[in-house]
């Protein structure tokens, strides 16, 4: 079974600064997808960004970008110009072509944004 | 917008009770999922379904069952609730197919279940 590891239970960043959340995964498969989901205090989980393993180019969505290192099995999330609304739990998730549509989640990183 | 709703935000039950958690999605999605979320453990998959009357076990199915009689509705059943099933339960749905638009899971607001 694939494992997803988020080694930072909590992170803190000041408003307008940049923060990077770490994620590593373990897999023997070559075709897979990686995701970062955000869960604000209201609890509705939403997708932040998605990366396909066969694409070398790192995904970007506005202030959110990833650093995808396939050989190192690393998938970190960079949040630029942090805003108070970025405060949330962030989950890294993995899905393989062979496992269907179910996601395998990491344990999450709680991000605190200070004024 | 995709909307996934769950029948209750908060639920308190007693040990041994039969508990039903309901999830409804309004976007005609084929796939539906039930996760359990506990502090320090992240989200763990209980059951999922690819179609009406179809179900697949996830990582922690013990003590749970599911029902999907209609495409839009996916129910999680705790046959005899126990205190170790106190948790946040999240439902999600996604469409069938491959690619960015079909790969995203849409989550409900969650049900905080307490078993006394």
B114 CB-contact burial (10 Å; exposed 0-12 / middle 13-18 / buried 19+): middle
A102 in B contact zone (CB under 8 Å): yes
Confidence of residue A34 (pLDDT cuts 50, 70, 90): very high
CB A26 within 8 A of CB A94: no
Ramachandran angles phi, psi of A28, nearest 5°: -110, 5
Give the mean pLDDT of A66-85. Answer: 96
pLDDT one digit per residue (tens) for chain B, 116 residues: 669 999 999 999 999 999 999 999 998 999 999 999 998 899 999 999 999 989 999 999 999 999 999 999 999 999 999 999 999 999 999 987 766 666 788 999 999 999 99
Give residue B98's region: left, alpha or beta (phi > 0; psi -120 to 50).
Answer: beta
Contact at CB, A95 and B103, closer than 8 angstroms:
yes
Chain A CB contacts of B97 under 8 Å are none
- Going by C-alpha positions, the residue among A36, A24, A104, A1 that lies closest to residue A71 is A24
Starting at the earlier edge strand, list the strands of the sheet with B19-25. B4-6, B19-25, B73-78, B65-70
- Going by C-alpha positions, the residue among B29, B27, B26, B23 that lies closest to residue B46 is B23
Chain A CB contacts of B45 under 8 Å are 102-104
CB B16 within 8 A of CB B40: no
């Amino acid at each position: 079974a694939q494992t997803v590891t988020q080694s930072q239970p909590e992170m803190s960043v000041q408003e307008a600064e940049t923060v990077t959340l770490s994620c590593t995964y373990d897999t023997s498969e070559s075709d897979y997808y990686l995701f970062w989901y955000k869960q604000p205090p209201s609890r509705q989980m939403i997708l932040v960004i998605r990366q396909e393993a066969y694409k070398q180019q790192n995904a970007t969505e506005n202030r959110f970008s990833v650093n995808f290192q396939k050989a190192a099995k690393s998938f970190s999330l960079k949040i630029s110009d942090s805003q108070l609304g970025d405060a949330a739990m962030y989950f890294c998730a993995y899905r393989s072509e062979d496992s269907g549509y179910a996601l395998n989640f990491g344990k999450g990183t709680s991000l605190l944004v200070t004024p | 917008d995709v909307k996934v709703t769950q029948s209750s935000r908060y639920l308190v039950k007693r040990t041994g009770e039969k508990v039903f958690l309901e999830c409804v999605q309004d976007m005609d999605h084929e796939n539906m999922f039930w996760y359990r979320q506990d502090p320090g453990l992240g989200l763990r998959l209980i059951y999922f379904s690819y179609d009406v009357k179809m179900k697949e076990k996830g990582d922690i199915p013990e003590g749970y069952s599911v029902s999907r009689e209609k495409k839009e509705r996916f129910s999680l059943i705790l046959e005899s609730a126990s205190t170790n099933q106190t948790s946040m339960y999240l439902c999600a749905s996604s469409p069938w197919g491959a690619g960015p638009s079909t790969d995203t899971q849409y989550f409900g607001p969650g049900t905080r279940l307490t078993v006394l």
